[in-house]
Structure 1
Amino acid sequence: MITVLIFASLAGVILTLPQELLPGLVDSAEMQFGGIESGQTASDATGASLSSLWSYSTVTEDRYDHSLHGDQHELTPYFQDYENITNITAQLGSTAYLNCRVNRLRDKTVSWVRRDGEKIKLLTWGLHTYSNDARYSLNFEHPNNWKLQIKYTQRRDQGSYECQVSTHPPKVLSVRLNIVAPVVEIIDERGASVHEKFYKTGSTIELKCTISQMPQAQTFILWRHGDHMLNYDTSRGGISVKTDMSSSVIVSTLFIANATPKDSGNYTCSLGDVATGSVLVHVLNGEHPAAMQHGSGTKDLCSLNLVLLLASLTTLLNSLSAAHVR
């Protein structure tokens, strides 16, 4: 632009010069640009010279602008969501997705690595997976998301990951993956965790299971009696399951009507293969009424222990009486 201004100023000065000075300028122009063609006047030569000067300045300006244009539009890749995906939380056993949206990638390559202190393990390069763990894969999402997929997440998957773009130096997006395990508990009527419950023959077994710390919504809760699944059991009858999803804690309640001693055993409430809670159920006949309960396990467990102690004392006294008679 400075060159253009100089030539424009020079052209203005030349046009205002007295006519007697033009021949000298024309002679100079002849030396600079090859002379005056036949039939041209000095004025024509001057115009041609100015035209040549202007053409030269225009070419120079174009080259300068082109160079400047190239500098301004040397576009490099950049991360679209740099501040939004630095922390990811996934549920144990679920599928985790780590997003990496890259704009203006052009001929560069995106890779995922796992960082453990100073150690770096390559997971993917472009669309190819280099991990020996088949749970890892590159799941590209059009138009620009180089998404890392981790199936069946385990506790050891928790840690730092990096999405890298092959610029010089490489552009790096760090992602922290957190693995959360749901907490499953079987509780009594007061909300306290319970591991053993007692029922009387003919009563209704009621077991309440709570599932908390679930980053991903899930509704399928399995109830089992030993190895037998109860959710869809129609052979026995009187079995029902009610699940409440109204709060952040899932509550699933199992009902078994007309309990018999066959219903005794270990009951489990599970969230797939991720987390399980269990309770040992005793269905007793009427010979030990003090052991029957439908509430807290602590008080009634003491009652059962007292009954067993009294039974043991009775047996001991009977043995002593028999020995005395002999």
Structure 2
Amino acid sequence: MTQWSSIDFDIGSYLLKSLFPRFVEPVPNVTVTVGRDALLACVVEDLRGYKVAWVRVDTQTILSIHHNIITQNARISLSYNDHRSWYLHIKNVQEVDRGWYMCQVNTDPMRSRKGYLQVVVPPMIIDNMTSTDMVVREGTNVTMVCRATGYPEPYVMWRREDGQEFNCNGESVNVVDGENLTISKVSRLHMGAYLCIASNGVPPSISKRVVLMVQCELLNTLKHKVAKLEIGLEIAADKVPQTILPSHLAF
């Protein structure tokens, strides 16, 4: 009976492994801005008669097998180099493309590597959910709102356009973090243009200008007094007796 040593098994295992293709490197993770093109690379050595396939992991969708595109997505194409490097191309990347992609070889058992496609979106201010120029009475409270979208979620801040500090609820500040800027007991010193700025590390950052006008209490009082004075003069004028001039003196 033939006996096999551990060395024989190691050699046999090595020879068996050498018969199979091997991945030279992992499928690298890729980050792409929405609307740009993405390229995923898979490098395999000793492919021999085996075939490479690209698969969308989260949906288990087969995108390509060997030289053939399987998916109906017209934005996806394939290229290869000497049956060693296999490239998956995605044109005009959209947010729905975000996820894991697998490069697999039809060995038994199957061998595979996967990489993640991250799709980032620059910030955008949602106009119909963001404040516009406003006029408020002095001494009242005001809240300016700025809503933004993007991926990753944008950081939103408020500041004056002229860069000056302003009193925000008893504290002198240059910047207020967050989507809402609330000012209690607005005064004339708060009048001016404010900028809502949204950023998430994906250029470009974006801003919106909101002008705050404050109706001064003194001005309102003066307007009220002038109005009362005008009404009083009109009443007094009505009470002045009218003199009828002789016809030869009339104009």
Instruction: Give the alignment's TM-score, normalised by structure 1.
Output: 0.41
Q: Which residue of 2 aligns with 1:21?
A: none
Q: Which residue of 2 aligns with 1:106?
A: 48
Matched AA of 1:162? M
> CA 1:310 to 1:75, structure 2 compared with 1: closer, same or farther past 3 Å?
farther
Matched AA of 2:25? D
Alpha-carbon displacement from aligned partner over 1:131-172 (angstroms, at most 9, x marks no partner): 222222213245622111222222222112111112122211
**Does residue 1:77 correspond to 2:21, yes or no?**
yes
| Larger proportion of helix | 1
Structure 1: any 5+ residue segments left out of the alignment?
3-67, 200-206, 215-249, 251-270, 283-300
Contact 2:99 2:117 in 1 (8 A): yes
Q: Which residue of 2 aligns with 1:90?
A: 32
> CA 1:90 to 1:73, structure 2 compared with 1: closer, same or farther past 3 Å?
closer
> CA 1:315 to 1:149, structure 2 compared with 1: closer, same or farther past 3 Å?
farther
> CA 1:281 to 1:81, structure 2 compared with 1: closer, same or farther past 3 Å?
same
Structure 1 residue 95, shift from structure 2 partner: 1.8
Aligned length: 167
CA-based RMSD = 3.9
Matched AA of 1:135? R
- Where do residues 307-318 of structure 1 align in structure 2 (5 Å cutoff)? 307=216, 312-318=220-226
Largest Rg, 1 or 2: 1
Matched AA of 2:98? Q
Instruction: Give the alignment's TM-score, normalised by structure 2.
Output: 0.52
Alpha-carbon distance between aligned partners in 1 of 2:193 and 2:113, rounded to the nearest angstrom: 56
Q: Which residue of 2 aligns with 1:277?
A: 206
- Where do residues 110-129 of structure 1 align in structure 2 (5 Å cutoff)? 110-116=52-58, 119-129=59-69
Contact 1:91 1:179 in 2 (8 A): yes
Query: Match of 2:230, SS?
Result: helix
Q: Percent identity?
A: 26
Structure 2: any 5+ residue segments left out of the alignment?
3-11, 125-155, 165-173, 182-190, 236-251
Matched AA of 1:81? E
> CA 1:209 to 1:122, structure 2 compared with 1: closer, same or farther past 3 Å?
same
| Larger proportion of strand | 2
Q: Higher relative CO (CA 8 A, sep ≥ 6), structure 1 or 2?
A: 2
> CA 1:120 to 1:72, structure 2 compared with 1: closer, same or farther past 3 Å?
closer
Alpha-carbon displacement from aligned partner over 1:254-292 (angstroms, at most 9, x marks no partner): xxxxxxxxxxxxxxxxx4xxxx6232376xxxxxxxxxx
Decide which of 78, 84, 95 is 1:144's aligned counterpart: 84
**Does residue 1:323 correspond to 2:223, yes or no?**
no
Matched AA of 1:90? V
